[in-house]
Amino acid sequence: MNLSEIIDFIVKIVGNLGYFGIFLMMFLESSFFPFPSEIAMIPAGYLAYKGEINIYIAIIIGTLGSVAGAFFNYYIALKLGRRFILQYGRYLFFTESSMKKMESFFKKHGEISTFLGRLIPGVRQYISLPAGIAKMNLYKFCLYTAIGAGIWIMILTFFGYYLGVWLGNEINIKEIIQTFNTSSLNSVEINIKSYLHYIILTMLGIVIFIALIYILYRKKRK
């Protein structure tokens, strides 16, 4: 099954199962079965534009799914430990090298890394593992994970929604997701470039917000 077929399959799940499909896909995205969250939440935003689902409920459900998937990883790491993860993680393409990177990131940034990591591709799916191994406080873990996941999911969902507002029914949602994942705008037939400044401004605001939280957190620790 190639990328296009996988995207098509997941988009259909979200479209056919609605909120449950969103929860399921985001649970899997945050657990040991990682795939890009764009595949679920951009279509969810577009469905909200079409009036098929409520955008705010979709964001909440997506966030809950992410927290549940992250808790799954956290619990496995907490109860079964590092050795178990390394022994069986390789079957899901999670190597010892990946584990060391996650542990290094967690050690460098502390517990707030469970928030920061939700906004970084390749980190968000696995940052729960060192948190579990370190026996991080569960309340803090869920809180930081929910805030980080919520911000990222909100960005993706509103991105999908405003694609509908700007471009109407001309969207090939599968093509948009492939572009989002490959970071290539040239392969898309519709003109998204004229709307990039909205997205950039939104992302800039989020980055500033995250930076302020991180600075305040570091000052508090000192």
> Which tokens hold the place of 52?
């098929």
C-alpha angle 105/111/112, rounded to 5°?
A: 85
Q: Please give the Cα distance from 212 to 204 (Å, whole number).
A: 12
Q: Please give the Cα distance from 10 to 6 (Å, whole number).
A: 6
C-alpha angle 151/117/47, rounded to 5°?
A: 35
Query: Using an 8 Å Cβ cutoff, are 117 and 127 in contact?
Result: yes
Q: Please give the Cα distance from 37 to 138 (Å, whole number).
A: 24
Q: Where are the alpha helices (DSSP H) in the chain?
A: 3-17, 19-30, 38-49, 55-89, 96-109, 113-116, 128-133, 138-167, 173-182, 196-221
**Of 9, 72, 19, the residue nearest 41 (C-alpha):** 19
- Residue 177: per-residue pLDDT: 59
Q: Please give the Cα distance from 140 to 114 (Å, whole number).
A: 9
Quote the pTM value: 0.73
Q: What are phi and psi of 172, to 5 degrees?
A: -100, 95
pLDDT in 10s for each residue of the chain, 222 residues: 555 666 667 667 777 788 998 999 899 888 876 666 677 788 888 888 888 889 999 999 999 999 999 999 899 888 887 788 877 777 666 777 777 888 787 888 778 888 888 877 777 778 888 888 888 899 999 999 998 899 889 888 988 888 887 776 655 556 655 555 544 334 333 333 444 455 556 666 666 666 676 677 667 666
Domain boundary assignment for the chain: 3-221
